[in-house]
Amino acid sequence: MDERKIKILQAIILDYIDTAEPVGSRTIAKKYDLGISSATIRNEMADLEEMGYLEQLHSSSGRKPSDKGYRLYVDKLMQVSRVTYEEEEFIKKHIIKSTLHEIDKVIKEASYLLAELTRLTSVVKAPSFRKGKIKSIQLIHIDNNNILSVIVIDTGIIKNNLIRMTKSIDTELLVKINNLLNIRLSNLNIEEINIEVIDNLKNDLFGYEEIFNSIMPVIYESLNSMGSSDIYFEGTTNIFHYPEYNDIQRAKEFLSLIDNKKKINDLINSTESMDIKIGGENFLEDAKECSIVSAVYSIGGRPLGSIGVIGPTRMPYDKVISILAAVVNELNKTLTDDYIR
């Protein structure tokens, strides 16, 4: 594609993102100093439509970008804007403030920030704690027949369970069992606690099979219950800032989509530092009029989940990408500083 077509396409995309109105050749000639006539722009627009970069809703209307046009813009033409100082401070203030809480509170705060700053619907896929590694296990003597197990996962979650014993256990033995559990299970996740690991623990506690049979199933079940990740949303009504959702049917379809957590879970399942799916690139029919910009957030470099925004294909990609990157950067830093000791 020659440089003139690229300039015209970029002008149409920027104008359409700003106004939500199909763009005509006279608009481009007046608003953008391209040094060419309206007639020349019209001819180039016809070529761009034939090439699949523009769409015309009606023969008498202007053009709007197609998914292919947005893709070229995002990949080749767009310059990612910088977050402002105020936005950067806003992100830091809210995420640092939320570190006083559990990890899910930090993630929810990041979701709120993303929706607030982009004016889009934010989606966060919370960590699946099945992937979380055991940081420590603490067995606490309650009374002659009850022990409290406190399991701390490296992603910040704490799991408490009461273990009912069939016989009394003295403090010295409890300390020994506690130490053995930490030696054998620290830095493992539930999927790594296999038969070999359990057999080794059982051998370590030879002669105390009854105690082992009381403690180990409860600890294993406690870890196993930290199941699938949850999905959090913020700003679900932000779509009404976009005139295309004045169409009641389209608004209902969007709200129905985000109400389906399974579909959103599949759509937001990002494995990249920044993933942008535009319109028809989304494999679900319900999402083919939406764009989804998502990224992976991590703790100590280990991926935990995905965070992103969903909205119309006419979203300001340059601003959305810069804000998402800033939020993820601060989220990663906070999680690593706060939960990796």
Buried b (16+ CB within 10 A) or exposed e, 8-21: bbbbbbbbbbeeee
| Contacts of residue 337, Cβ cutoff 8 Å, sequence gap at least 6 | none
- pLDDT tens for residues 21-38? 999 999 999 998 889 999
Both 163 and 307 in a single domain? no
Both 103 and 143 in a single domain? no
Domain boundary among 224, 251, 274: 224
Task: Please state the domain count of the chain.
Answer: 3
CATH number, domain of 210, equals 3.30.390.60
pLDDT of 228 reads 56
pLDDT of 303 reads 83
pLDDT of 338 reads 64
Domain boundary among 174, 206, 224: 224
pLDDT of 156 reads 60
- pLDDT tens for residues 159-214? 788 888 888 888 888 899 999 999 999 888 877 888 898 899 889 888 888 888 88
| pLDDT of residue 225 exceeding 70 | no
- pLDDT tens for residues 270-314? 777 899 999 999 988 889 999 999 999 988 787 888 999 999 999
What is the rounded CA–CA span in Å between residue 125 and residue 269?
8
Percentage of residues in the chain with pLDDT exceeding 90?
A: 45
- pLDDT tens for residues 39-60? 999 999 999 999 999 998 776 7
| Rounded alpha-carbon distances, angstroms, from residue 275 to 113, 250, 290, 295 | 19, 24, 14, 6
**H or E stretch at 302:** strand 302-312
DSSP 111-154: HHHHHHHHSSEEEEE---TTSPPEEEEEEEEEETTEEEEEEEET
| pLDDT of residue 340 exceeding 60 | no
How many Å separate Cα 165 from the centre of its chain? 42
Number of residues in the chain: 341
Nearest to 294 by CA among 319, 274, 315, 265: 274
Both 51 and 180 in a single domain? no
What is the rounded CA–CA span in Å between residue 61 and residue 65?
13
Domain limits for position 67: 3-77
Both 216 and 287 in a single domain? no
Both 237 and 93 in a single domain? yes
Both 219 and 169 in a single domain? yes
Both 245 and 314 in a single domain? yes
Both 266 and 119 in a single domain? yes
User: Is the separation of the CB atoms in 295 and 306 below 8 Å?
Assistant: yes
